Structure 1
Amino acid sequence: MIETRKLNIQPALNRPDDFYNALVDMHRDLSEEQSQMANAKLILLLANHIGDEETLEEALKIAAEGLN
């Protein structure tokens, strides 16, 4: 596992179940292509909000762990 430097990986949402439900609702009635596009847009919006390239690179590495 990568030792984090900047990325907060501890639970930080006050109502994580509400966010999860909103995420599921966003995908409801979308085609697979639309769902993938919505995910890509969400990722880019959040990456822009974070704005710190080192933190984003760290997040990419952690997200890819164990997928190969």
Structure 2
Amino acid sequence: MPLNTAPNLTRPDDFYEALIDMHRDLDDAASQAANARLILLLANHIGDHQTLLEALALAREAP
């Protein structure tokens, strides 16, 4: 499954707001842990190893 990097969120502003709300009132360690759990949940949902490797590479390259 190729990685879709085109805009694909049906409600991007609402998602961004929910993401910010997820971090509200968390200290740095809890915020990092929440991010890690979210990444693992989404990676599990995607499931395809090659797609995940492509995402990892693109994420690391980004400025």
Stretches of 4+ moved more than 6 A in 1?
Answer: none
Given the alignment, which residue of 20, 32, 42 partners 1:36?
Answer: 32
- Which residue type is aligned with residue 14 of structure 1? T
User: RCO (CA 8 Å, sep 6+): is it higher in 1 or 2?
Assistant: 1
Aligned length: 63
Q: Once the two structures are aligned, what percentage of the paired residues are identical?
A: 65
Superposition TM-score, scaled by structure 2 size: 0.95
Which structure would you say has the larger Rg? Answer: 1
TM-superposed CA distance for 1:25, in Å, is 0.2
- Larger helix percent: 2
Gaps of 5+ in 1: none
Give the C-alpha shift of residue 60 in structure 1: 0.3
> Alignment RMSD, CA only?
1.3
Query: Which blocks of at least 5 consecutive residues in structure 2 are unaligned?
Result: none
